[in-house]
């Protein structure tokens, strides 16, 4: 994220225009035609993104894993700029899963330091409010402190950026049920009474994303076609879009194509 880190990242070529991660060229004629084809009412209000492929991107270039994550973080800044241009109100970024926390200490420390730097950069970019989505208690103290500072410092209107760290879909549901049971016990409600009255809303109100609308569109890069525990509950009726590009190579054209694909779908919500 710093000049020292990004200086080692090779230039990505986007439709013949040199673009380092963190630099977005002016829209091409094709990009502008894609933008013009998208009606405001057809755009998603909440996009979830699995930013996948950073390690493979680095390996293909003989770079360290940390450099791959740094390039991915720079691409996130680009992505949030594109969302700002299109007035997308909310984005959730899957950046650190509960499984990621089990990686070897050396790799994990590099990833955490990149996220730490990214959060500082995010505040400086003044994109919009920042929110944490995950079991924050699982995070190292240093990252938790940076995240809390970013949340406090990011008060300007704009794209709401949800940072999914220490996140796992099954863990989220288990935590929601645990909170529900504790609330019932505190209220003197028996297990039998709770079972009789339990509703979907009761779970919704205790998820990490409580108070937020479910994602309309989930995007995963790198060619993998699975959600890997991302928003397991909330994605019941989300539209899914899988892109072959590794995340640091994900371009504005790729994003616009995802939005065009979304706009052409007939959302039935199970009906």
Range scoring the smallest mean pLDDT among 21-35, 153-167, 202-216, 244-258: 21-35
pLDDT over 80 at 77, yes or no? yes
Phi then psi for 49, rounded to 5 degrees?
A: -130, 125
Residue 15 is encoded by which pair of tokens? 């439709």
Residue-wise pLDDT tens digits, 89-118: 999 999 999 999 988 888 889 899 999 999
- Residue 23 has a pLDDT of 58
Residue 202 catalytic? no
Q: What is the pLDDT of residue 13?
A: 35
So what's the pLDDT on residue 154?
Answer: 87
Least confident residue range of 72-81, 137-146, 262-271: 262-271
What percentage of the chain has pLDDT greater than the value 90? 78
Q: How many residues belong to the chain?
A: 271
Contacts 24+ apart (CB under 8 A), 21-30: 21/70, 21/71, 21/72, 21/74, 21/75, 21/78, 21/248, 22/74, 22/75, 22/77, 22/78, 23/78, 24/78, 24/81, 24/82, 24/252, 27/252, 28/253, 30/253
Q: What is the mean pLDDT of the chain?
A: 90
The answer to whether 134 and 166 have CB atoms below 8 angstroms apart is yes
- Phi, psi of 229, deg, nearest 5: 80, 10
Q: Is-catalytic flag, 100? A: yes
Read off the pLDDT band of 18 (50, 70, 90). very low
CA–CA distance, 68 with 61 (Å, rounded to integer): 9
User: Looking at 36, 54, 87, 100, which residue is catalytic?
Assistant: 100
- pLDDT for res 2: 35
pLDDT at 19: 53
User: Global pTM?
Assistant: 0.87
pLDDT in tens, 217-260: 999 999 999 999 999 999 999 999 999 999 999 999 999 999 99
Query: Does residue 24 register a pLDDT over 70?
Result: no
Catalytic residue of the set 5, 52, 54, 116 = 52
Query: What's residue 25's pLDDT?
Result: 72
160-167 and 130-133 beta bridge pairing: parallel
């Amino acid at each position: 994220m710093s000049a020292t880190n990004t200086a080692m990242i090779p230039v990505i070529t986007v439709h013949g225009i040199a673009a380092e991660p963190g630099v977005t060229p002016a829209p091409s004629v094709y990009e502008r035609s894609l933008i013009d084809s998208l009606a405001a009412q057809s755009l998603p209000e909440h996009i979830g993104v699995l930013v996948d492929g950073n390690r493979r991107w680095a390996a293909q270039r003989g770079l360290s894993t940390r450099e791959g994550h740094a390039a991915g973080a720079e691409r996130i800044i680009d992505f949030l700029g594109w969302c700002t241009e299109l007035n997308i109100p909310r984005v959730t970024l899957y950046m650190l899963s509960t499984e990621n926390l089990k990686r070897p200490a050396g790799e994990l420390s590099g990833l955490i330091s990149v996220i730490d730097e990214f959060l500082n950069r995010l505040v400086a970019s003044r994109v919009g409010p920042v929110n944490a989505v995950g079991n924050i208690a699982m995070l190292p103290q240093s990252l938790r402190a940076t995240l809390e500072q970013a949340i406090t410092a990011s008060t300007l209107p704009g794209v709401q950026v949800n940072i999914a760290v220490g996140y796992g879909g099954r863990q989220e549901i288990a935590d929601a049920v645990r909170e529900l049971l504790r609330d019932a016990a505190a209220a003197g409600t028996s297990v039998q009474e709770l079972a009789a009255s339990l509703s979907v809303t009761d779970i919704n109100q205790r998820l990490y994303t409580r108070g937020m609308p479910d994602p309309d569109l989930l995007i995963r890069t790198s060619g993998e076609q699975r959600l890997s525990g991302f928003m397991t509950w909330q994605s019941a009726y989300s539209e899914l879009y899988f892109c072959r590009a590794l995340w640091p190579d994900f371009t504005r054209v790729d994003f616009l194509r995802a939005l065009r694909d979304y706009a052409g779908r007939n959302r039935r919500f199970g009906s």
